[in-house]
Amino acid sequence: MAVIATSPAYCQLGFADIDQMLDIEQQVYSHPWSRGNFTDSFLSAHDAFGFRNSQQQLFAYFLMMPVMEELHLLNLAVGAEYQGQGYARQLISKMFDYAAQKQAESILLEVRCSNQRAIEVYLKAGFSEIGKRKSYYPAQGNTREDAIVMRRMC
């Protein structure tokens, strides 16, 4: 029987999606967001969007915080089984559509210096490094890690 590929459903996310986001956080981050982080973000009216598979299971998402005319990317993650299939690229394209709707001038993000994979994704999407934040992230063994700050004009 022929297998018909279906595109994932793109949708806005809210409090009801936090459990599924927490599952993905545990899979893909050394220092995952907590329930409190997501709750605070939604209470602050940050917008989140993601992809669901045909079983309605969330497998990728991003969260945005508006700061004046700039949008700040707070989090972007693709579930472990779904990585390397172009979903980050698709999510970022949706993020650009969202930025255009909001008439944002630019998108800003931070990424761990060691997160070469994500840095590559952002560079390919047109982001450039604009600076570093020293010791921004918690790291292994009670140490801290620098963040690279990247921006893309809309």
Interface with ligand COA by CB under 6 A: which residues? 28-29, 76-78, 83-89, 111, 115, 117-118, 120-121, 124
Nearer to ligand COA among residue 2 and residue 111 (C-beta)? 111
Question: Containing H/E element for 37?
Answer: helix 35-43
DSSP 85: S
**Between 13 and 77, whose beta carbon lies closer to ligand COA?**
77
At residue 103, what is the residue type?
Q
Least distance in Å: CB of 25 to ligand COA?
9
In angstroms, give the least distance from the CB of 124 to ligand COA. 5
Beta carbon nearer to ligand COA, 1 or 65: 65
Shortest Å, Cβ 44 to ligand COA: 19
Rounded Cα distance, 50 and 75, in Å = 11
Is 109 exposed, middle or buried, given 0-12, 13-18 or 19+ CB atoms closer than 10 A? buried
Q: Give me the least distance between CB of 28 and ligand COA, in Å please.
A: 4
**How far apart, in whole angstroms, are the C-alpha atoms of residue 84 and residue 72?**
24
